[in-house]
Amino acid sequence: MVFFLIVILVVLAQSFFPWWTMPLVCYIVSISLGKSAWGTFFSAFFAVFFVWAVKAFWADIQNDQILSERMGQMLGIAGEWLFMISAVFGAVLGSLAALAGYYTKSIFLKKKSQAPLSRATFS
């Protein structure tokens, strides 16, 4: 569920706002729905990887691969690798934001087992 929610909200947010709304979406979704650190990390990683790879591929199709070929020539790599590089950078950023959201939630919502002992225990 976290995966699909991040995909939908990132697509909507980046349709109207700049690229940096993606980490904000991952952070907020993981605060509200994150169940485990690894789960939120990998859900956000694969969701953002998917969205950014598809968006880069779609933009490349729109201009007949001209931009990716020229950028690839400048960087000395094949133009097709630019999709993966941009998707990995976005995925790492989104997954770290989701992990930060999960740990922020865990700071403020302590589990009962971590609660301090009451005075009644010592008497």
Say if CB 2 and CB 39 are below 8 A apart: yes
Residue 74's pLDDT is what?
Answer: 87
pLDDT surpasses 60 at 27: yes
Domain presence at residue 88 = yes
Domain presence at residue 29 = yes
Say if CB 7 and CB 47 are below 8 A apart: yes
Domain presence at residue 118 = no
Domain presence at residue 90 = yes
pTM: 0.81
User: Taking all residues of the chain, what is their mean pLDDT, rounded to a whole number?
Assistant: 87
Number of domains in the chain: 1
Domain presence at residue 20 = yes
Which domain, by its residues, includes 42? 2-107
Domain presence at residue 40 = yes
Domain presence at residue 113 = no
Digit-coded pLDDT (tens) for 30-80: 999 988 999 999 999 999 999 999 998 898 888 888 888 888 888 888 877
